[in-house]
Amino acid sequence: MAVTLKPLMCMAVIAAIVMAASVAPPAEAAVGCGTVVSYLISCIPYVTDQGPLGSCCNGVKGLYAAAQTTSDRQSICKCLKSLAASYSRIDFSRAAGLPAQCGVSVPYQITPSTDCAKVQ
């Protein structure tokens, strides 16, 4: 009898999850880290002192345009901090100067110590 109840219990749990998901309010969409990487990959040579600015500003401007909500901006901030931690040779003064150099105004400084929860 326990063998028969186990599949029924699994089905009940799955049904409950599906129902909860359909009733829950939709989450505010955020720009994912993969998107951030795709916009800023051309900036890696510049911020690691390995190459010129090149087409980096196109990515910076594109990412700036994609950051429509507070959630987007906080997600981007968290991703940038994570990416910065994974590249040991980043010149943080170059990285912090990118927005201004590319003609974009960002209301916070891009540093490893930035509190992304405070980004608006």
| pLDDT tens, residue by residue, 38-58 | 999 999 999 999 999 999 999
The encoded tokens of residue 73 equal 């901006």
Residue-level pLDDT at 8? 34
| pLDDT tens, residue by residue, 56-104 | 999 999 999 999 999 999 999 999 888 888 878 889 899 989 999 999 9
Other beta carbons within 10 angstroms of residue 94's beta carbon come to: 15
Residue-level pLDDT at 41? 93
User: Residue 112's closest CA among 89, 66, 78?
Assistant: 78
Domains in the chain, CATH or no CATH each = 33-118 (1.10.110.10)
| pTM (2 d.p.) | 0.70
Residue-level pLDDT at 53? 93
Residue-level pLDDT at 102? 95
User: Residue 92's closest CA among 75, 112, 106, 76?
Assistant: 112
For the chain, what is the radius of gyration of the CA atoms? 21
